Chains A and B, each alone.
Chain A
Amino acid sequence: MHAFITGAFDTEVGELPGSSCMGLHAQAAIGAVADAGLELSDIDGVLCAYSFTEPHLMLASVFCEYMGIHPGYSAAIQAGGASACIMIMQAAALVASGQCEHVLVVTGDNRLTGMSRDGAVAALAEVGHPQFERPFGISVPASYALVARHYMHETGVTSEQLAAIAVEHRRHAGRHPKAHKREPITVDQVLASKTIATPLHMLDCCLISDGGAALVVSSRAAARDCRGAPIEILGAGQGHTHEHIVAAPSLADFGCKASSKAAFERAGVGCADIDVAEIYDSFTITLAVELESIGFFERGEAGAAAERGDLGLGGRLPCNTHGGLLSYGHSGAAGGMFHAVEAVHQLRGRAGARQVDGARLAFVHGDGGILSAHCSLVLGAH
């Protein structure tokens, strides 16, 4: 796609007292630009997402003002958990079309210390339809629980199998020095954790964390001026089927089918070619349906695959090697960006104890809403 990731950075993640949304943006931005071997003045495009703690109609303008930078292109993109991948896809289009040379994509939020956990849960519940969902007490976990109950009924997948996904994520996070939650958990602990909305337990659900992450996306020509090994954006695609769960055309197949198909076709590769996958895991059920809908596993097989260790380091498809939203951290739009940054670490061979041997091709996926908006990327070591 004539676009390359030339810089990547993730801030500390977890409970970061004294952090702020814009402060985390700044830290991530400076880190990513320095990683690329560039100066902030080299950045001629800026893409931001959204914030819960410092919400603004024009977050990218707020960020540029905060940094004292005046890029030739600046915009904010809001698509929930799909934001990070969509921002990268958009940045790729900007550099490939010649409109920009170096686009900074930057996300961050202090969701944990900047608002109460209750506040974050309440704010997220507002994605429910104001007339046809919210009056009935819907929440994001309850919406995913509706998907999970249906999926378990159709496929026979058990709560134990979904729990195995959470357990593997914690194992991954244990290898990442920055991860928010690193202490190992067991299937029994997942099942014994508080019920949020049946069949989902607390440990089936993602974390709420402070943190930030950013990438620099550069054109083919401009990438030559950068310091590190560029990572090529080989393919990208999106899929959109609904916003509200009451309007979802299916509770089993979602837009990830179309988004991954487009990304794979563009890259000229398929599921079997992927060395490492970083896929949105807001809930254990999210990852299960996405892994199957995308085609990495047959319908109803993702849970059993997790039990077998297929998603672990050394497994058939090492997945969410940083620990994902379930264990590494979830800081709003930065949550999805952590997946992309981890893919870059893996493809550069810089993932330390969690390095997938010889990782050359990575699949990154984000979904927003209730499996509503999807964006897939195929990234390659160059």
Chain B
Amino acid sequence: MNRPLPRPTAETKPFWEGCANGVLRFQSCALCGTVQRIPRSLCSGCHGDALAWHESSGYGRVLSHTTVHRAPTPAFRDEVPYVIALIDMDEGFRLMANVAGGPAAGIGIGSRVEIGFREVDGTMLPHAQVCP
């Protein structure tokens, strides 16, 4: 069983192409300024169709985190224990990512992290690194 990997849609393609090139992108609305949590075709705030892509600084703060000991599928069994974090990025979007170094990285709520990228089965995924 393989790890579930993102299959980009027309709406998310710029995000995943960015990841492949080491760039973290996010969408915000040119009309009302709402930053989108997950890429989409129209603004979740005003429903306008003027969403624009921007480059993120890559920095954010941990909103919450968990260390997973029970893998959801066999594909993750070799990885446990691994850390999943919800990260509020400085630009206002939110990202889920694994944390480099796992539980030993000592992540906490409010920790500063920088998003880098990690290759999994040929796909570059966002990957959080605790800032020193």
Cα distance, A124 to B72, chains bound together (Å): 9
> A246 near B72 (CB under 8 angstroms)?
no
> B109: which A residues are within 8 A, CB to CB?
149-150, 153
Q: Does B56 contact A (CB under 8 A)?
A: no
B104 at the binding interface (Cβ < 8 Å): no
Chain B residues lying within 8 Å of A118, measured Cβ to Cβ, are 74
Stretch at the interface among A61-69, A194-202, A210-218, A310-318: A194-202
Give chain B nearest CB distance to A95 CB in angstroms: 36
Per the bound structure, the CA–CA distance linking A138 and B16 in Å amounts to 19
Q: CB-nearest residue of chain B relative to A139?
A: B72
Q: Which residue of A lies closest to B71 (CB)?
A: A137
Whether A220 is near chain B, meaning CB under 8 Å from some CB there, is no
Does chain A have a CB within 8 A of B51? no
A117 and B75 CA atoms in complex are apart in Å by 16
Contacts of A125 in B (CB 8 A): 72-73
The B contact surface, by secondary structure, is: mixed
User: Does A130 count as interface, using CB distance less than 8 angstroms?
Assistant: yes
The residues in B between 6 and 63 inclusive whose CB is less than 8 angstroms from any CB of A are: 6-9, 12, 16, 37-38, 63
| Complex-state Cα separation, A244 to B37, whole angstroms | 10
**In angstroms, how far is the closest chain B Cβ from the Cβ of A371?**
13
Q: Is the CB of A197 within 8 A of B70?
A: yes
Q: How far is the CA of A130 from the CA of B6 in the complex (A)?
A: 6
Assuming the contacts A137-B76, A142-B68, asked whether A150 and B84 have C-beta atoms less than 8 A apart, the reply is: no
Indicate if the CB atoms of B37 and A197 lie closer than 8 Å: no
Tell me if A146 counts as interface (CB < 8 A to partner B).
Answer: yes
Give the chain A neighbours of B38 by CB distance below 8 A: 129, 131-132, 244, 246-247
Query: Contacts A122-B73, A137-B76, A139-B72 given: A198-B96 contact, CB under 8 Å?
Result: no
Majority secondary structure of chain A interface residues (helix, strand, loop or mixed): helix
Residues of B within 8 Å of A199, CB to CB, are: 66
Q: Are B37 and A136 in contact (CB under 8 A)?
A: no
Q: Can you list, as one digit per residue, whether each of B67-111 has a CB less than 8 Å from chain A (1) or not (0)? A: 111111110100100101010000000111110000000000100
Known A147-B64, A251-B63, A251-B64; contact A130-B7, beta-carbon cutoff 8 A: yes
Does B5 sit at the interface, judged by CB under 8 A? yes
Q: Are B98 and A137 in contact (CB under 8 A)?
A: yes
**Chain B: minimal CB distance from A16 (Å):** 25
Residues from chain A with Cβ under 8 Å of B94 in the complex: 246-247
Our pick among B69, B70, B96, B120 for the contact of A132 (Cβ within 8 Å) is B96
Chain B residues with CB below 8 A from A130, complex form: 4, 6-7
Tell me the complex Cα distance, A200–B71, Å. 14
With a CB–CB cut-off of 8 A, which chain B residues contact A200?
Answer: 66
**Chain A residues, CB < 8 A from B66:** 142, 145-146, 148-149, 197-200
In this assembly, does A134 line the interface, its C-beta being within 8 Å of a C-beta of chain B? yes
A148 to B7, CA, bound (A): 30
Check if A135 sits within 8 Å of B6, measured CB to CB: yes
Task: Confirm or deny: A231 has a beta carbon within 8 angstroms of a beta carbon on chain B.
Answer: no
Partner of A137, one of B8, B64, B82: B82
Query: Does A92 make an interface contact (CB < 8 A)?
Result: no
A305 to chain B minimum Cβ distance, whole angstroms, is 23
Known: A130-B6, A149-B65, A246-B38. A136 touches B125 (CB 8 A): yes
The 8 closest A-B pairs by CB, nearest first: A125-B72, A139-B72, A145-B66, A131-B6, A150-B64, A134-B4, A137-B76, A146-B64
Pairs A–B under 8 Å by Cβ, sample size 27: A125-B72, A130-B4, A131-B9, A132-B95, A135-B6, A136-B97, A136-B125, A137-B3, A137-B68, A137-B79, A137-B82, A138-B84, A142-B66, A145-B68, A146-B86, A149-B65, A196-B70, A197-B68, A197-B70, A198-B66, A198-B67, A198-B69, A199-B66, A200-B66, A244-B38, A246-B86, A246-B95
